[in-house]
Amino acid sequence: MNAADLARQLRALLPRGRVLTSAPQLAGYASDGLGFKAWLPDAVVIPADAQELAQFMRGAVALNLPVIMRGAGTSLSGGPVAAQGGVVVHTSGLRAIRHLEANGLWCEVECGVSLQELEQVLLPHGLFYPPDPSSGPVCTLGGNVASNAGGAHCFRYGVTSNYVLGVEALMLDGSLHRFGGPAGGRGPWREDWKRFMIGSEGTLAAFTRFWLRLLPLPEKIWTFRATFADLRATEAAIHALVAHPSAPAAIELLDPRAVAMVESSQMACGLPQGSFMLLVEIDGPAALVDGRVAEVAQLLRDAGSGDVQFSDEAAIRQRLWKARKAAGGLLGQLSPSYVVQDAVIPKRALAEVLQLVYDEADAAGIATVNIFHAGDGNLHPNFLFDARQPDQLEKVERISKRLMQRVVEVGGTLSGEHGIGNDKAAYMPMVFGIVGTRLQLAVAAAFNPAHQLNPLKVFEQRRFCA
Protein backbone atom coordinates (compact mmCIF):
# COMPACT_ATOMS: atom_id res chain seq x y z
CA MET A 1 0.00 0.00 0.00
CA ASN A 2 1.45 3.40 -0.87
CA ALA A 3 1.55 6.28 1.59
CA ALA A 4 -1.40 8.12 0.09
CA ASP A 5 -3.61 5.01 0.18
CA LEU A 6 -2.61 4.33 3.76
CA ALA A 7 -3.37 7.90 4.80
CA ARG A 8 -6.76 7.71 3.11
CA GLN A 9 -7.65 4.44 4.79
CA LEU A 10 -6.54 5.73 8.17
CA ARG A 11 -8.56 8.91 7.81
CA ALA A 12 -11.60 6.80 7.05
CA LEU A 13 -11.04 4.90 10.29
CA LEU A 14 -10.42 8.05 12.31
CA PRO A 15 -12.73 10.81 11.07
CA ARG A 16 -12.35 12.79 14.30
CA GLY A 17 -8.81 11.91 15.26
CA ARG A 18 -5.52 12.84 13.66
CA VAL A 19 -3.47 11.00 11.08
CA LEU A 20 0.19 11.96 10.76
CA THR A 21 2.18 10.91 7.72
CA SER A 22 4.79 13.58 6.99
CA ALA A 23 8.39 12.68 7.76
CA PRO A 24 8.95 15.44 10.35
CA GLN A 25 5.80 14.36 12.17
CA LEU A 26 6.77 10.69 12.11
CA ALA A 27 10.28 11.46 13.35
CA GLY A 28 8.86 12.30 16.77
CA TYR A 29 7.62 8.73 17.09
CA ALA A 30 10.68 6.92 15.75
CA SER A 31 12.17 6.06 19.11
CA ASP A 32 11.36 5.91 22.81
CA GLY A 33 13.67 6.72 25.74
CA LEU A 34 16.18 4.36 24.16
CA GLY A 35 16.90 7.18 21.76
CA PHE A 36 19.74 5.74 19.77
CA LYS A 37 17.54 3.11 18.12
CA ALA A 38 15.05 4.63 15.69
CA TRP A 39 12.47 3.20 13.29
CA LEU A 40 10.23 5.51 11.31
CA PRO A 41 6.61 4.32 11.38
CA ASP A 42 4.53 4.38 8.21
CA ALA A 43 1.98 6.56 9.98
CA VAL A 44 0.88 7.78 13.37
CA VAL A 45 -2.77 7.96 14.39
CA ILE A 46 -4.20 9.79 17.37
CA PRO A 47 -7.75 8.56 18.04
CA ALA A 48 -10.01 11.24 19.47
CA ASP A 49 -11.41 8.91 22.12
CA ALA A 50 -11.90 5.28 23.13
CA GLN A 51 -14.74 4.85 20.67
CA GLU A 52 -12.57 5.92 17.80
CA LEU A 53 -9.73 3.71 18.98
CA ALA A 54 -12.16 0.79 18.90
CA GLN A 55 -13.18 1.76 15.39
CA PHE A 56 -9.53 1.87 14.37
CA MET A 57 -8.82 -1.55 15.90
CA ARG A 58 -11.75 -3.08 14.06
CA GLY A 59 -10.25 -1.89 10.79
CA ALA A 60 -6.63 -2.54 11.70
CA VAL A 61 -6.47 -6.13 10.47
CA ALA A 62 -7.38 -4.99 6.97
CA LEU A 63 -4.46 -2.54 6.99
CA ASN A 64 -2.16 -5.54 7.05
CA LEU A 65 0.46 -3.51 8.88
CA PRO A 66 1.91 -3.74 12.39
CA VAL A 67 0.05 -1.71 15.02
CA ILE A 68 2.03 -0.22 17.88
CA MET A 69 0.34 1.34 20.89
CA ARG A 70 2.19 4.27 22.42
CA GLY A 71 1.65 6.51 25.43
CA ALA A 72 4.23 9.19 26.17
CA GLY A 73 7.02 7.15 24.61
CA THR A 74 9.23 7.39 27.70
CA SER A 75 9.96 3.69 27.96
CA LEU A 76 13.61 2.69 28.03
CA SER A 77 13.55 -0.66 26.27
CA GLY A 78 12.61 0.10 22.67
CA GLY A 79 9.00 -0.88 23.31
CA PRO A 80 6.50 1.44 21.59
CA VAL A 81 8.39 1.81 18.34
CA ALA A 82 7.74 0.57 14.82
CA ALA A 83 10.55 -1.98 14.67
CA GLN A 84 8.84 -3.66 11.72
CA GLY A 85 7.21 -0.53 10.36
CA GLY A 86 3.47 0.02 10.69
CA VAL A 87 1.10 2.40 12.41
CA VAL A 88 1.84 3.91 15.79
CA VAL A 89 -1.32 4.61 17.79
CA HIS A 90 -0.76 7.52 20.14
CA THR A 91 -3.21 7.41 23.07
CA SER A 92 -3.16 11.07 24.06
CA GLY A 93 -6.86 11.39 23.19
CA LEU A 94 -7.88 8.99 25.95
CA ARG A 95 -7.22 11.13 28.99
CA ALA A 96 -10.33 10.95 31.13
CA ILE A 97 -10.28 10.08 34.80
CA ARG A 98 -13.70 8.50 34.62
CA HIS A 99 -14.40 7.75 38.23
CA LEU A 100 -12.83 8.12 41.65
CA GLU A 101 -14.31 5.94 44.37
CA ALA A 102 -12.55 7.38 47.39
CA ASN A 103 -14.50 5.18 49.82
CA GLY A 104 -13.44 2.05 48.00
CA LEU A 105 -9.85 3.19 47.36
CA TRP A 106 -10.03 2.76 43.59
CA CYS A 107 -10.36 4.79 40.42
CA GLU A 108 -11.17 4.23 36.77
CA VAL A 109 -8.92 5.94 34.24
CA GLU A 110 -8.32 5.94 30.52
CA CYS A 111 -4.99 4.72 29.21
CA GLY A 112 -3.65 8.12 28.15
CA VAL A 113 -3.93 9.72 31.61
CA SER A 114 -0.50 10.72 32.88
CA LEU A 115 0.71 9.71 36.29
CA GLN A 116 0.97 13.34 37.26
CA GLU A 117 -2.61 14.11 36.22
CA LEU A 118 -3.83 11.25 38.36
CA GLU A 119 -1.71 12.36 41.31
CA GLN A 120 -3.21 15.86 41.17
CA VAL A 121 -6.75 14.50 41.19
CA LEU A 122 -6.06 12.14 44.09
CA LEU A 123 -4.18 14.58 46.31
CA PRO A 124 -7.22 16.51 47.64
CA HIS A 125 -8.77 13.19 48.65
CA GLY A 126 -5.73 12.21 50.71
CA LEU A 127 -5.04 9.30 48.35
CA PHE A 128 -2.22 8.27 46.07
CA TYR A 129 -1.32 5.73 43.41
CA PRO A 130 2.06 4.35 44.52
CA PRO A 131 4.03 3.33 41.39
CA ASP A 132 6.36 6.23 40.62
CA PRO A 133 8.64 5.75 37.62
CA SER A 134 11.04 8.62 37.13
CA SER A 135 9.14 9.66 34.00
CA GLY A 136 6.11 10.32 36.24
CA PRO A 137 5.46 13.92 35.15
CA VAL A 138 4.71 12.79 31.60
CA CYS A 139 4.38 9.00 31.35
CA THR A 140 0.92 7.53 30.86
CA LEU A 141 -0.84 4.83 32.78
CA GLY A 142 -1.17 2.85 29.56
CA GLY A 143 2.59 2.72 29.24
CA ASN A 144 2.94 1.96 32.93
CA VAL A 145 0.60 -1.01 32.74
CA ALA A 146 2.13 -2.21 29.49
CA SER A 147 5.62 -2.28 30.99
CA ASN A 148 4.62 -3.04 34.61
CA ALA A 149 6.44 0.11 35.68
CA GLY A 150 8.01 0.50 39.10
CA GLY A 151 9.92 3.40 40.55
CA ALA A 152 11.93 4.54 43.52
CA HIS A 153 9.29 3.68 46.12
CA CYS A 154 8.38 0.19 44.98
CA PHE A 155 10.67 -1.46 47.52
CA ARG A 156 7.76 -1.20 49.93
CA TYR A 157 4.84 -0.24 47.74
CA GLY A 158 5.39 -2.64 44.85
CA VAL A 159 5.07 -2.19 41.11
CA THR A 160 2.16 -1.47 38.78
CA SER A 161 0.85 -5.06 38.80
CA ASN A 162 0.19 -4.71 42.53
CA TYR A 163 -2.27 -1.89 41.81
CA VAL A 164 -4.11 -2.88 38.64
CA LEU A 165 -7.58 -4.17 39.50
CA GLY A 166 -8.84 -4.39 35.96
CA VAL A 167 -7.92 -3.82 32.34
CA GLU A 168 -10.23 -3.06 29.44
CA ALA A 169 -8.64 -4.43 26.29
CA LEU A 170 -9.43 -4.14 22.61
CA MET A 171 -8.45 -7.14 20.55
CA LEU A 172 -7.46 -7.07 16.92
CA ASP A 173 -10.71 -8.80 16.00
CA GLY A 174 -12.46 -5.68 17.28
CA SER A 175 -13.81 -7.35 20.41
CA LEU A 176 -13.65 -5.43 23.65
CA HIS A 177 -13.03 -7.32 26.90
CA ARG A 178 -12.86 -6.33 30.52
CA PHE A 179 -10.44 -8.38 32.56
CA GLY A 180 -11.23 -7.67 36.20
CA GLY A 181 -12.66 -4.31 37.20
CA PRO A 182 -12.98 -2.27 40.39
CA ALA A 183 -13.28 -5.44 42.48
CA GLY A 184 -9.95 -6.70 41.11
CA GLY A 185 -11.05 -10.29 40.55
CA ARG A 186 -11.42 -12.35 37.40
CA GLY A 187 -14.83 -11.00 36.51
CA PRO A 188 -16.93 -13.41 34.44
CA TRP A 189 -13.90 -15.32 33.21
CA ARG A 190 -12.69 -18.67 34.40
CA GLU A 191 -9.09 -17.46 34.45
CA ASP A 192 -7.40 -14.26 35.56
CA TRP A 193 -6.42 -12.97 32.11
CA LYS A 194 -5.40 -9.53 33.32
CA ARG A 195 -2.26 -11.20 34.70
CA PHE A 196 -1.07 -11.70 31.14
CA MET A 197 -2.18 -8.23 30.05
CA ILE A 198 -0.15 -6.37 32.68
CA GLY A 199 3.44 -6.10 31.47
CA SER A 200 2.58 -7.43 28.00
CA GLU A 201 4.15 -4.38 26.31
CA GLY A 202 1.38 -3.84 23.80
CA THR A 203 1.78 -7.29 22.29
CA LEU A 204 -1.61 -8.75 23.23
CA ALA A 205 -4.21 -6.00 22.97
CA ALA A 206 -4.77 -2.26 22.99
CA PHE A 207 -5.68 -1.07 26.48
CA THR A 208 -8.37 1.55 26.78
CA ARG A 209 -8.98 1.89 30.49
CA PHE A 210 -7.91 0.60 33.87
CA TRP A 211 -9.24 0.22 37.37
CA LEU A 212 -6.52 1.06 39.86
CA ARG A 213 -6.13 0.47 43.57
CA LEU A 214 -5.23 3.50 45.70
CA LEU A 215 -3.77 4.03 49.15
CA PRO A 216 -4.12 6.73 51.81
CA LEU A 217 -1.29 9.23 51.61
CA PRO A 218 1.41 8.77 54.22
CA GLU A 219 1.16 11.41 56.92
CA LYS A 220 4.88 11.92 57.25
CA ILE A 221 7.94 11.29 55.10
CA TRP A 222 11.53 11.36 56.25
CA THR A 223 14.33 11.38 53.70
CA PHE A 224 17.87 10.27 54.57
CA ARG A 225 21.00 10.75 52.52
CA ALA A 226 24.19 8.98 53.52
CA THR A 227 27.51 8.53 51.79
CA PHE A 228 29.85 5.59 52.19
CA ALA A 229 33.51 5.17 51.40
CA ASP A 230 33.13 1.71 49.88
CA LEU A 231 30.64 -0.77 48.55
CA ARG A 232 31.05 -3.18 51.47
CA ALA A 233 29.75 -0.55 53.90
CA THR A 234 26.99 0.44 51.49
CA GLU A 235 25.89 -3.18 51.19
CA ALA A 236 25.86 -3.53 54.97
CA ALA A 237 23.54 -0.53 55.15
CA ILE A 238 21.26 -1.90 52.42
CA HIS A 239 20.97 -5.31 54.09
CA ALA A 240 20.23 -3.71 57.46
CA LEU A 241 17.60 -1.41 55.95
CA VAL A 242 15.87 -4.25 54.11
CA ALA A 243 15.57 -6.20 57.34
CA HIS A 244 14.54 -3.22 59.44
CA PRO A 245 10.97 -3.03 60.78
CA SER A 246 10.67 0.55 59.53
CA ALA A 247 10.24 -1.01 56.06
CA PRO A 248 11.73 1.87 54.06
CA ALA A 249 9.68 2.97 51.09
CA ALA A 250 12.79 3.69 49.02
CA ILE A 251 16.44 2.60 49.13
CA GLU A 252 18.24 4.21 46.19
CA LEU A 253 21.92 4.05 45.36
CA LEU A 254 24.32 6.20 43.34
CA ASP A 255 27.73 4.70 42.72
CA PRO A 256 30.93 6.80 42.84
CA ARG A 257 30.80 7.34 39.07
CA ALA A 258 27.29 8.71 39.30
CA VAL A 259 28.34 10.86 42.26
CA ALA A 260 31.28 12.18 40.25
CA MET A 261 28.96 12.95 37.33
CA VAL A 262 26.66 14.97 39.58
CA GLU A 263 29.49 16.72 41.40
CA SER A 264 31.17 17.83 38.22
CA SER A 265 27.94 19.37 36.94
CA GLN A 266 26.02 22.50 37.81
CA MET A 267 23.82 20.22 39.98
CA ALA A 268 26.68 19.53 42.42
CA CYS A 269 25.51 19.14 45.99
CA GLY A 270 28.69 18.54 47.94
CA LEU A 271 28.88 14.76 47.91
CA PRO A 272 32.36 13.39 48.69
CA GLN A 273 34.25 12.28 45.59
CA GLY A 274 34.57 8.52 45.37
CA SER A 275 31.62 7.86 47.64
CA PHE A 276 28.56 5.67 47.27
CA MET A 277 25.38 7.57 48.08
CA LEU A 278 22.29 5.99 49.59
CA LEU A 279 18.97 7.74 49.60
CA VAL A 280 16.42 6.26 51.97
CA GLU A 281 12.84 7.18 52.73
CA ILE A 282 10.61 6.05 55.52
CA ASP A 283 6.99 7.10 55.67
CA GLY A 284 3.77 6.45 57.52
CA PRO A 285 1.87 7.87 60.48
CA ALA A 286 3.81 10.69 62.11
CA ALA A 287 3.70 9.12 65.55
CA LEU A 288 5.26 5.95 64.23
CA VAL A 289 7.88 7.22 61.78
CA ASP A 290 9.08 10.13 63.89
CA GLY A 291 10.08 7.62 66.54
CA ARG A 292 12.14 5.64 64.04
CA VAL A 293 14.24 8.47 62.62
CA ALA A 294 17.09 8.33 65.11
CA GLU A 295 17.27 4.56 64.72
CA VAL A 296 17.51 4.67 60.92
CA ALA A 297 20.15 7.41 61.08
CA GLN A 298 22.14 5.33 63.55
CA LEU A 299 21.79 2.26 61.33
CA LEU A 300 23.38 4.22 58.48
CA ARG A 301 26.18 5.45 60.76
CA ASP A 302 26.78 1.96 62.14
CA ALA A 303 27.17 0.66 58.60
CA GLY A 304 30.01 3.12 58.11
CA SER A 305 28.59 6.44 56.95
CA GLY A 306 30.14 9.49 58.50
CA ASP A 307 27.79 11.76 56.62
CA VAL A 308 24.12 11.12 57.35
CA GLN A 309 21.67 13.92 56.61
CA PHE A 310 17.95 13.64 57.07
CA SER A 311 14.83 15.75 57.21
CA ASP A 312 11.05 15.75 57.06
CA GLU A 313 10.90 19.32 55.65
CA ALA A 314 9.87 19.44 52.01
CA ALA A 315 12.57 21.88 50.90
CA ILE A 316 15.37 19.99 52.59
CA ARG A 317 14.05 16.64 51.39
CA GLN A 318 14.09 18.02 47.89
CA ARG A 319 17.73 19.00 48.39
CA LEU A 320 18.59 15.53 49.64
CA TRP A 321 16.93 14.04 46.56
CA LYS A 322 18.72 16.47 44.24
CA ALA A 323 21.63 14.22 43.21
CA ARG A 324 19.34 11.25 42.58
CA LYS A 325 16.84 13.28 40.56
CA ALA A 326 19.51 15.18 38.61
CA ALA A 327 21.49 12.11 37.67
CA GLY A 328 19.04 10.86 35.03
CA GLY A 329 19.02 14.16 33.18
CA LEU A 330 22.78 14.51 33.29
CA LEU A 331 23.32 11.25 31.45
CA GLY A 332 22.05 12.79 28.26
CA GLN A 333 24.47 15.70 28.58
CA LEU A 334 27.52 13.49 28.90
CA SER A 335 27.26 11.47 25.74
CA PRO A 336 25.29 11.40 22.49
CA SER A 337 23.73 8.04 23.40
CA TYR A 338 23.17 5.93 26.45
CA VAL A 339 21.49 2.70 27.28
CA VAL A 340 20.15 1.78 30.70
CA GLN A 341 19.83 -1.85 31.71
CA ASP A 342 17.23 -3.01 34.20
CA ALA A 343 18.42 -6.29 35.67
CA VAL A 344 17.20 -7.53 39.04
CA ILE A 345 19.57 -9.61 41.13
CA PRO A 346 19.55 -11.24 44.55
CA LYS A 347 21.01 -8.55 46.78
CA ARG A 348 23.84 -10.79 47.98
CA ALA A 349 25.28 -10.62 44.44
CA LEU A 350 25.37 -6.83 44.28
CA ALA A 351 29.13 -6.33 44.72
CA GLU A 352 30.00 -9.06 42.25
CA VAL A 353 27.65 -7.87 39.51
CA LEU A 354 28.56 -4.22 39.98
CA GLN A 355 32.25 -5.13 39.70
CA LEU A 356 31.48 -7.01 36.48
CA VAL A 357 29.83 -3.86 35.10
CA TYR A 358 32.93 -1.80 35.95
CA ASP A 359 35.40 -4.37 34.62
CA GLU A 360 33.60 -4.94 31.35
CA ALA A 361 32.91 -1.26 30.71
CA ASP A 362 36.43 -0.16 31.63
CA ALA A 363 38.00 -2.83 29.44
CA ALA A 364 35.86 -1.69 26.50
CA GLY A 365 36.48 2.00 27.15
CA ILE A 366 32.77 2.66 27.68
CA ALA A 367 31.75 5.01 30.48
CA THR A 368 29.23 3.65 32.98
CA VAL A 369 27.32 5.15 35.87
CA ASN A 370 25.00 3.24 38.18
CA ILE A 371 21.89 4.74 39.70
CA PHE A 372 19.46 2.15 40.95
CA HIS A 373 16.84 0.74 43.31
CA ALA A 374 19.12 -1.01 45.76
CA GLY A 375 16.33 -2.25 48.03
CA ASP A 376 14.87 -4.33 45.22
CA GLY A 377 18.24 -5.39 43.82
CA ASN A 378 17.10 -3.63 40.64
CA LEU A 379 20.28 -2.48 38.89
CA HIS A 380 20.28 0.28 36.31
CA PRO A 381 23.77 0.33 34.81
CA ASN A 382 23.90 3.19 32.32
CA PHE A 383 26.37 2.82 29.49
CA LEU A 384 27.33 6.09 27.84
CA PHE A 385 28.54 5.93 24.28
CA ASP A 386 28.26 7.34 20.79
CA ALA A 387 25.93 5.29 18.63
CA ARG A 388 27.34 6.95 15.53
CA GLN A 389 30.51 4.93 16.12
CA PRO A 390 29.60 1.38 15.09
CA ASP A 391 32.24 -0.22 17.28
CA GLN A 392 30.87 1.53 20.37
CA LEU A 393 27.40 0.12 19.92
CA GLU A 394 28.87 -3.34 19.46
CA LYS A 395 30.90 -2.92 22.64
CA VAL A 396 27.83 -1.87 24.61
CA GLU A 397 25.89 -4.83 23.27
CA ARG A 398 28.72 -7.16 24.27
CA ILE A 399 28.87 -5.71 27.78
CA SER A 400 25.10 -5.92 28.13
CA LYS A 401 25.12 -9.54 27.04
CA ARG A 402 27.83 -10.51 29.53
CA LEU A 403 26.04 -8.62 32.24
CA MET A 404 22.75 -10.38 31.52
CA GLN A 405 24.42 -13.77 31.42
CA ARG A 406 25.88 -13.19 34.86
CA VAL A 407 22.62 -11.76 36.18
CA VAL A 408 20.79 -14.94 35.17
CA GLU A 409 23.57 -17.13 36.59
CA VAL A 410 23.31 -15.50 40.02
CA GLY A 411 19.54 -16.05 40.02
CA GLY A 412 18.36 -12.70 38.71
CA THR A 413 16.25 -11.61 35.79
CA LEU A 414 16.51 -9.36 32.73
CA SER A 415 14.04 -6.66 33.62
CA GLY A 416 12.45 -5.41 36.79
CA GLU A 417 10.37 -2.49 35.58
CA HIS A 418 11.32 -1.31 32.09
CA GLY A 419 10.11 -4.28 30.10
CA ILE A 420 11.94 -6.23 27.43
CA GLY A 421 11.00 -4.25 24.32
CA ASN A 422 13.32 -5.00 21.45
CA ASP A 423 16.39 -4.03 23.45
CA LYS A 424 16.43 -7.16 25.59
CA ALA A 425 14.44 -9.58 23.44
CA ALA A 426 17.65 -11.27 22.28
CA TYR A 427 18.44 -12.23 25.87
CA MET A 428 15.17 -14.07 26.53
CA PRO A 429 16.67 -17.51 25.74
CA MET A 430 18.94 -16.98 28.76
CA VAL A 431 15.84 -17.02 30.96
CA PHE A 432 13.48 -19.33 29.12
CA GLY A 433 14.40 -22.75 27.76
CA ILE A 434 12.61 -24.24 24.80
CA VAL A 435 9.55 -25.31 26.78
CA GLY A 436 9.37 -22.06 28.69
CA THR A 437 9.59 -20.09 25.47
CA ARG A 438 6.82 -22.19 23.94
CA LEU A 439 4.58 -21.37 26.90
CA GLN A 440 5.43 -17.71 26.65
CA LEU A 441 4.70 -17.59 22.94
CA ALA A 442 1.43 -19.42 23.50
CA VAL A 443 0.18 -16.34 25.35
CA ALA A 444 0.83 -14.18 22.32
CA ALA A 445 -0.67 -16.86 20.10
CA ALA A 446 -3.90 -16.80 22.11
CA PHE A 447 -4.53 -13.08 21.68
CA ASN A 448 -2.45 -11.87 18.77
CA PRO A 449 -1.48 -14.93 16.74
CA ALA A 450 -0.19 -13.04 13.70
CA HIS A 451 1.91 -10.74 15.94
CA GLN A 452 0.36 -7.72 14.28
CA LEU A 453 0.45 -5.90 17.61
CA ASN A 454 3.93 -4.61 18.41
CA PRO A 455 5.96 -7.22 16.55
CA LEU A 456 9.63 -7.94 17.31
CA LYS A 457 9.13 -7.03 20.96
CA VAL A 458 9.58 -9.22 24.02
CA PHE A 459 10.49 -12.25 21.87
CA GLU A 460 12.49 -11.95 18.66
CA GLN A 461 10.35 -14.67 17.10
CA ARG A 462 7.34 -12.37 17.20
CA ARG A 463 7.48 -11.20 13.60
CA PHE A 464 4.34 -10.03 11.79
CA CYS A 465 3.78 -11.87 8.54
CA ALA A 466 1.58 -9.67 6.40
Partner 1 sequence: MSPAITHGAERLFDHGLDVVDGTLCLPADAKAAEVRAHIGNHALRFPLWLDGQSSLRDHLNASSHAPASSRFGPYGDNVLGMNWRLPSGELLRLGERVVKTTTGYDWLRFALHSGTRFGRAEDLVLRLRPACDFNGMARLDGSAQALQSCAQSLLHSPWLCWWDSVDWLHASGQCWLRVQWHGRATEAALFEEQLRHLAKIHGCSIALEGLPEAQLDGLPDLVLKTTPERVMALATQMAPHCRRTLAMLHHGLLHLDLGGNEACAMQAHEWAQSLAASLHELGGDWHSRWLPARAPDITESKWIQTLEAALHEA
Q: Residues 360 to 389: which contact partner 1 by CB under 8 A?
A: 376-378
Q: How far is the CB of 142 from partner 1 (least distance, A)?
A: 15
Residue 58 sits in the site that holds partner 1 (CB under 8 A): no
Helix (H) or strand (E) holding 340: strand 337-340
From the list 19-27, 39-47, 254-262, 429-437, the region that binds partner 1 by CB under 8 A is 429-437
Residues 430-459 touching partner 1, rule: CB under 8 A, are: 430-447, 449, 458-459
Comparing CB distances to partner 1, the nearer of 153 and 324 is: 153
Q: How far is the CB of 194 from partner 1 (least distance, A)?
A: 9
Residues 196-235 touching partner 1, rule: CB under 8 A, are: 196, 198-200, 211, 215-220
Residues 263-302 touching partner 1, rule: CB under 8 A, are: 284-285, 287-288, 291
Q: Measured on CA atoms in the order 159, 160, 163, 166, is the torsion positive or negative?
A: negative
Q: Measured on CA atoms in the order 415, 161, 32, 332, is the torsion positive or negative?
A: negative
Residue 38 sits in the site that holds partner 1 (CB under 8 A): no
Residue 71 sits in the site that holds partner 1 (CB under 8 A): no
Residue 461 sits in the site that holds partner 1 (CB under 8 A): no
Comparing CB distances to partner 1, the nearer of 9 and 341 is: 341
Report whether 67 contacts 202 (CB < 8 A): no
Residues 108-147 touching partner 1, rule: CB under 8 A, are: 126, 147
From the list 40-48, 251-259, 326-334, 396-404, the region that binds partner 1 by CB under 8 A is 396-404
Helix (H) or strand (E) holding 260: helix 256-263
Q: Alpha-carbon distance 92 to 72, whole Å?
A: 8
From the list 27-35, 63-71, 256-264, 345-353, the region that binds partner 1 by CB under 8 A is 345-353
From the list 6-14, 22-30, 150-158, 320-328, the region that binds partner 1 by CB under 8 A is 150-158
Residue 243 sits in the site that holds partner 1 (CB under 8 A): yes
From the list 13-21, 80-88, 254-262, 413-421, the region that binds partner 1 by CB under 8 A is 413-421
Q: Alpha-carbon distance 205 to 210, whole Å?
A: 13
Residue 306 sits in the site that holds partner 1 (CB under 8 A): no
| Residue type (1 letter), 370 | N
Report whether 207 contacts 197 (CB < 8 A): yes
Q: Alpha-carbon distance 255 to 227, whole Å?
A: 10
3-state secondary structure 390-447: HHHHHHHHHHHHHHHHHHHHCCCECECCCCCCCCCHHHHHHHCCHHHHHHHHHHHHHH
Report whether 297 contacts 275 (CB < 8 A): no
Q: Return the residue of 133, 166, 202, 381 that touches partner 1, per CB under 8 A.
A: 166
Helix (H) or strand (E) holding 46: strand 43-46
